[in-house]
A and B are shown apart, each in its own frame.
Chain A
Amino acid sequence: MEKKTKIHAEEGKQEILITREFDLPLTLLFKAYEQPEIFEQWMGTKVLKWENRKHGSYAFETSHDNRVVFKANGTIHEFIPNEKITRTFEMEDSPFPVQLEYLSFEKITDNSSKLLMHIVFQSVGSRDQLLQMPFAQGINIAHNRLQEIATKLI
């Protein structure tokens, strides 16, 4: 499968840029970020708090075998439907400092859209350390889950 997600991380900078184009209308892309039930599905997590408004906050936790293995939370600074979300992101019980995230949603055509995620870290060191953590191996689980779903469809 072609990898559509692009990451731009310049050496010596405390930020990264994640961009992704979707074969989805802008409103549907935004809905995946707006509706907690949908967010839970694609992130494979459980939403504990979800306040989509200025000064609102959110929290979610991911479990495996009935044990919580990942918890995160943050505060919403801007929430403009189909346009942008500005928020903080903090991983609980971890040494990683709070991140600042700017999400912009753009229409490309009636049936395609683009997400731009700009993450600002406390330092170059904390950015690099996060990138080096093997979180991505979580994709194995995601892959397995996709496999399960796909198998059921056959």
Chain B
Amino acid sequence: MNLRRDVFQAIADPTRRAILLLLASQAMTAGAIAANFNTARPTVSKHLQILSECELLKSEQNGREIYYQLNPSKLKEIADFIEPFRDMWDVRFNKLEEIMKNYKDK
């Protein structure tokens, strides 16, 4: 059994996606990241650990602080640019179509 963290599973979580979004422009410490969420600090640490394990984040020691930042090459690997974006809209629009077909039937 492969116990390696699965990247796609890692980013299926909305909080982890929110963390990636937060780190899109700057490196941040775990504390600064956690301040953006209502969730407990250990929960955020766990998320950071998972994202780091699958190399979506890089961390850098700076004095006593550890700064987290995105690993762009890994992100690019997942995204393969446009396909996931297209997929997202495709799923949304499929849903729209489904809902409106039922709406028509009412």
Taking Cβ atoms with an 8 Å cutoff, the residues of A that contact B are 1, 3-7, 9, 18, 20, 22-25, 28-29, 31-32, 38, 41-43, 62, 64, 67, 69-70, 91, 93-96, 115, 129-143, 146
Contacts and interface: CB of A to CB of B under 8 A. Distances in A.
A135 B88 contact: yes
B97 to A, nearest CB: 5
A40 B100 CA distance: 13
A34 to B, nearest CB: 11
B92 A43 contact: yes
B24 A135 contact: no
Contacts, number: 137
Contacts of B18: 69-70
B64 interface: no
Contacts of A43: 92
B100 A24 contact: yes
A133 B24 contact: yes
B84 interface: yes
A32 B96 CA distance: 7
A47 B100 CA distance: 18
B68 to A, nearest CB: 15
Given A69-B14, A93-B22, A133-B21, A24 B85 contact: no
Interface residues of B, number: 45
Contacts of B11: 134, 137
22 contacts: A4-B94, A5-B90, A5-B93, A9-B82, A18-B89, A20-B90, A32-B96, A64-B15, A67-B38, A69-B17, A131-B82, A131-B85, A132-B76, A132-B79, A133-B75, A133-B79, A134-B11, A134-B79, A137-B12, A137-B84, A138-B88, A139-B84
A28 B93 contact: no
Given A64-B14, A67-B38, A22 B89 contact: no
Given A29-B100, A69-B14, A131-B85, A42 B92 contact: yes
B96 to A, nearest CB: 4
Given A23-B97, A69-B14, A131-B81, A3 B103 contact: no
B36 interface: yes
B91 interface: yes
B90 A129 contact: no
A63 to B, nearest CB: 9
Nearest to B78: A134
Contacts of A130: 85
